[in-house]
Structure 1
């Protein structure tokens, strides 16, 4: 029997809706790594709110802190006025995250979404340098507003802009060209050659692991060389850590193993820890040049998000969670490698770091079929990549190993089924 709620959504919500099409269930409750549907079915969540729920659904500590704050009539909306909630978050974020990593960045609160953070970073880099163009990278994804789209590589998403997307220059991401092509040497040659036609940019924006772009992980050496190049040319390095940050790759910031300190860092998604909208832009002190009110946003003072974000920092007072992510990441890598070895006909590639992983399947439509079959069997996961060719895994960092292995078994069966269907279709076509 069709769901009444799905029928209401079909009749009234815009055609732009997407996840409800991929996951045709009416979800009612969620806890930890599990989502429950109106049908009574339980699903293992390998999606985690597209990376906004790194600590799982409805964490007890964050929920208790939030309920206590609301019950006490704590300030909910404050723009950038002073509140106890904001002050406590800033204090704890400095103590737990910034100071131990030797970062003296100032915390700028833009609007509460990832694309707000990126827009702010681009605007700031242009103000600091007085220049216009931003260097971005192939397959990068930075958001759906116009400035963020201008530095996003995906043609489908760029096509929705409705006007030219200017002031961006795209360079090859690590290993994009293959065959040993050195994209950073190419970029430096373009910068140093007066005949290249490339004006000195305002900055460079990069993801360490390209989430929507296909789970492409840059090597630490490539990231270090990029950082050094930016320093030589006085180019602010903007690190978009919106999906790969907050522990997704193991360390709190995804760039830590590369030994770099970006000039500007964008965080959102799992920063609040509870799925509440929140973003920050971390800015090197000498680049903190906006005048009072020169950049703002009505919902940048989302106090309930400050409350849960402060509580979420308990996961980062030691390395327990980082070690757990490393261990679970190895479990996923081994499982994906086994799937790949079993189906060489799908031209597979195992990609990613930590609990940001993917299996690229270079046969059209197969990754989408894998995700659809997995959902039918109780696992929520999505595709990524320019052609939706990657079956992507973003489980919560706190998922129990037993549940992780159970979900991976469902995925493996889905790959087997999709491979068999692909082979059958190819045989019939022949």
Structure 2
């Protein structure tokens, strides 16, 4: 018998694309290379990212079936608005990701990012927190690790993914890393409940406050040397390292903390031959409350027989300036193991363990904004508040006091 020419009725138990669930993600466009176009004076930020960069690409715009344009409710500066939306084709988990783009006006050059911009991003997340399942922030790469660290401390009781990403070349270029970075961020934010501030770049989702930029040109531009990635994208799909993902330890409402105080902190990188008066001049800046000191190896600074550099630091600590010691090395930690580091510890310097300089700056700015006193800041710096450090399993090494000589025995 010849095969029937009548199409078999579809299995009603089989889920059709129209019936697939949708997650909602808000993409917050702050600027950066990812949205730039070539102009007469070089690369410059351009607006209309949804229509110009995402709508023409099938991976971002599911054109299958007939569906009316959908607008998503969002909030901008306290005012409800309706944003045009697109959705992705079905993911491996049989789910569409519907998203809208909320662009800042004006767009921000990431080298000009400040604490006020971090506060604006946090406010946008807070205003839209209950309207979306996850958030993606488009950002320039120059200060991307700083912003990821800052937002991690700004958010308390975070229950949804907030993923920052960008690119080394514009999305409009023929050869660009932008599509992979954006698509990976979008799918993870709309699929997995990873309640952290993450940084997605070159197929890896890192904990944001563990990252640092390691290349100005390579597509593999960010690393998390002291913490494994939270997720990897490869030929097998998306693999989430669930044991590493932080989970809320209590039932509490999401909130945005006070803006970080970056106006009263400084960073100083020591170098061979640095003069004590240079360090002292920084420590005597008007209204300075904290200093991130980037030191050699495991936390060492140039010494010298006179000890003037350590004395200048000890004097600042006595005046109430909080000094935090982090290593210049890409991986490893700062701890008072060697004599120069021990002298700093005795002078009251806080050791930042395996924190990046970006995370240490954000954490210090966060604690200063809370008006914590130096002893409290010192205690909290050895604790992981947002997964920013590896808590020591043993007490921090300290040199033992000399053993007194036994009294002479009578003859």
Q: TM-score, normalised by structure 1?
A: 0.25
Greater share of strand = 2
Q: Based on CA coordinates, which of the two structures has the bigger radius of gyration?
A: 2
Higher relative contact order (CA 8 A, sep 6+): 1
Q: TM-score, normalised by structure 2?
A: 0.25
